[in-house]
Structure 1
Amino acid sequence: MVLLLLVLTGVQLWQTRDVTSGPAPELAVSVLGADGKLVTTTLSAWRALHPAEPVAIHFWAEWCPICRTEENSITRLSRDWPVLTVAMQSGGADQVRATLRQRELPWQAVIDPSGDITRAHGFHAVPSFLVVDAKGQIRTPAVGYQTEMGMRLRLWWVKLTS
């Protein structure tokens, strides 16, 4: 059991080796709201809507089968915590809007058709997840399937230790 835990920890550390540490990248992004409207903003401006709270950023793709298994968890998580999703290489706003509607996902989604926003955060695969604390610092990055409880614990931990 300990060996398995060490292997999983090693894999996670390797997968997140390029994730930026310190302040979250400040990029202009197009965010598709749950209402279907497209707004241009920045991560810090979006975070300002949730003062003194950690926020979750979930990187996903329409074509990713593992991402689909996390959809209900992300939806439930977003009812209690601020969650911004990043639709990596899933097409333009119209395609992402259609995917969200078809799957009945009430998410706010950054449109990342080329994967540049995902790579700017240091991720090379989806699904990926990180928490940005109230001071704008990246915390607890993870690649691969995450349980809802695991995501909640990451947010809670960041809130507790910030």
Structure 2
Amino acid sequence: MRRILRAHDALTWAGFILGATALGAIVAIYAFEVISRYAFGAPTMWASDFVSFLLLISVFATAPWLTRDGGHVAVTILPDLLPPIRDAMLMTGYLVAAGVCLWAGWICLGENIHLFERGTSTLTTIRIPKWILSAFITYGFVNTGLYFIRLAFISTPTGTQHD
């Protein structure tokens, strides 16, 4: 089981690096667009499209890693006020979050297949198959759901994961 969890963590770390790289590319593209537009009077046709694509990738590629590290949004006022049932409440919350994420991932997977079968492309200057972008959404939801399951079952009473 540890090998599977390590492989899961390695895949998620790779996604985090991809998302961080996408964020860096957004900064570079915006800088290029500003220089191109205002210094040379030649705005690009593609910068806005790529920034949109890369923003989607950065959000959904990094979400699982942030969940793994506890960077997700958590409102813990009730568990904090009710220490005797704190762990049960947190576990329930993690399982509900996992269910929602996995359900959304399932819906997205169906949409990915539909987009692939129809050959649907983006309606942008630079056209790419939509399934490529929606695959990142599916990855983000499913992988985040898996981390919520891990948080529910492989946690210490303080909510941190065992190694």
Normalised by the length of structure 1, the TM-score is 0.23
Normalised by the length of structure 2, the TM-score is 0.23
Structure with more strand by fraction: 1
Bigger Rg over Cα: 2
Between the two structures, name the one with larger relative contact order (CA 8 Å, sep ≥ 6): 1
